Structure 1
Amino acid sequence: MAVWWVTAVVIVVAALALCAVSLKVLREYERGVLFRLGRLRPVVGPGVLWVWPGADRLVRVDLRVVTLTIPPQEVITRDNVPARVNAVVLFKVTDPELSVMAVENHAVATSQIAQTTLRSVVGRVELDTLLAHRADLNDDLAKNIDRQTGPWGVHVKVVEIKDVEIPEAMQRAMAREAEAERERRAKVINAHGELQASDELFQAAEKLSGNPASLQLRYLQTLLELGADQNSTVVFPLPMDIISPFLQKASGFLDSFADRTAQGTNHGGTNHGGTNHGGTNHVGPTMKGTR
């Protein structure tokens, strides 16, 4: 009787151990690639699965999106600028059977392909393109990597370049270039502003010249603005139409004074010429005697 109980207990324990080893549970996002005696069986879905110990081998395949970080890669751009570029790749398995049968480890293979493709694509573009048109490079990388991983049942969804590191000397050169570009834009904008301001001033001058009263009102407004502040020195601008008569009279006076001065000088020269004429009569015999 005791032997029978011991045998029953052993059988039950062995059965429980067999069930524990043979029963497999696949989650909803997992698929199972089953090999029985080395031969491929159909892909099994989520749920409870019975696997014969020693005869079956189950390979679990995750169907979720996998995030793969590409380590920094030393690359040289098309314009011979060294840079360190790293990226992130998002991929998922679309065919569990191919991901097991076509490649040994689809995650490692995808990582290696992503690294080599990153170096190849970045080496074909210039540094400005790498910095300014990163979205186009991301699309190009995703298409190239997906074309190579497609036969493995792996679909690359997104490739994003995370960071681009360039030498400090190149950073300083780019900073100087950006500063010069900003100064150029500032000068151009200032020149356009001066041109527009000159056009507006020209139109304002035309309007003010048509009505002298408006010019006087503008003059009084300017005086009011100057008197509003506590200034120790006040400058009174005088319109040209007010002082122009005085300037004309002053110019006429200076011209008449110059004419009178010129006439006085000519008259004095004539008297001196008469003296010379008298001297000439006296010197004539002397010069003659000398001869």
Structure 2
Amino acid sequence: MTDTIIAHRREIADLMQRIKVRRFQLFGMYATPAAAILAGLAWASLKVFVWLHGDTPSAVNGVCFAAIILLGAASAAQFYAEFTDVWEDADTSVRKLKLELALAEERHVLESRRRTPPSQDRQASYKEKIPAEVIRLRQESRHYRRLHLFMQWLLFISSASISAVTAWYDPPQPAKGVLIGLGFTVTVITAATGYFKPRERSFNLQQTADTIEQHATAFELGIAPYNSPDDAKNLELFATTVENVRAEQRMREQQLDQPQQGQEQVI
């Protein structure tokens, strides 16, 4: 039974990866020739609008020519791989792969229903997945914490630089362009911090990870609230508690995604 379920999951994972690869292949097939054409148009535009009455610098000619040759060679290689079946899913549409994925998922669901283990076994399996969930939550928490620190330091440096540049330069140039860039950076970071709220997301994720880990430790040690002599009852209580904690985490994430007025109404 386990081997069959694992085989279905491997098939689904393989199809999902093939869909990603196929999308990348098709994107390259269409984007690379378009980029070569755009490079040629840019080269011609520079000649017409910038160096119409003079010679185009050799450096510009060399860069544009090299870009067109490189993009053209990449396009030729991709079309060769597509029409000579070098790629695994050459001449296969993404739509067909998605259909195969849907069928594989349906087979997996049907097989899982037919071979559904008892609830106690499912709860025990769920418990074994908790350490990985805690690790995931902590990783996301660290990601948002680092993002928040980066944005704050960038905000501090840009804000301090505005005053420094203003005090250093009396003429409007080149300080004017620097001040515009710094002011734009401060505005963007302030708006992004208020909208995405990385500090709050990091705190919520860390709090959820700590709570789940606390319950997992209590379950392993057999202390309250998991000190019942009935192991099945303790396991059911543990699964129920962890799911409630995760539901609260999702609720907090939804509140952070809502505008401030919507958050006040929810609260």
Flag whether TM exceeds 0.5 (same fold): no
Higher RCO structure (Cα 8 Å, ≥6 apart): 2
* TM-score, with length taken from structure 2: 0.19
Larger radius of gyration: 1
Indicate the structure with greater helix content: 2
